[in-house]
Amino acid sequence: MTERLFIHEEVLTDWKNISAGVPQESVLGPILYLLYIADIPTNNCSMTAMLTDDTAIMTTNEDQQTATDWFQRSMNNVSNCRLKRRRPYDLI
């Protein structure tokens, strides 16, 4: 990928080239998706939505702190799974 810029704490970076990623419409994309993302762990406290190469983990509760705790638990599960399997996920 070439010519990307990033926003960090509301500050734009200079244009940069990225030496990672899978080219669009590559046959490698679906294979990597199946290997790395399709079996992402879930639990009863959250919902996982996946579309092409995007994944969202969502929680809801009337109590904001409870929803936050559930979300953190879900992210911890994903992170622990990633470490056990030595699979790279971008946790953003």
- What is the DSSP secondary-structure string of the chain? --SB--EETTEEPPPB----S--TT-THHHHHHHHHTTT----TT-EEEEETTEEEEE---SSHHHHHHHHHHHHHHHHHHHHHHT------
- Per-residue pLDDT reduced to its tens digit, 34-63: 777 777 777 788 888 877 667 788 888 999
**The overall pTM is greater than 0.85:** no
**pLDDT value for 27:** 81
Q: What is the residue-averaged pLDDT of the chain? A: 76
Per-domain boundaries in the chain: 7-85
- Per-residue pLDDT reduced to its tens digit, 77-92: 887 777 776 655 555 4
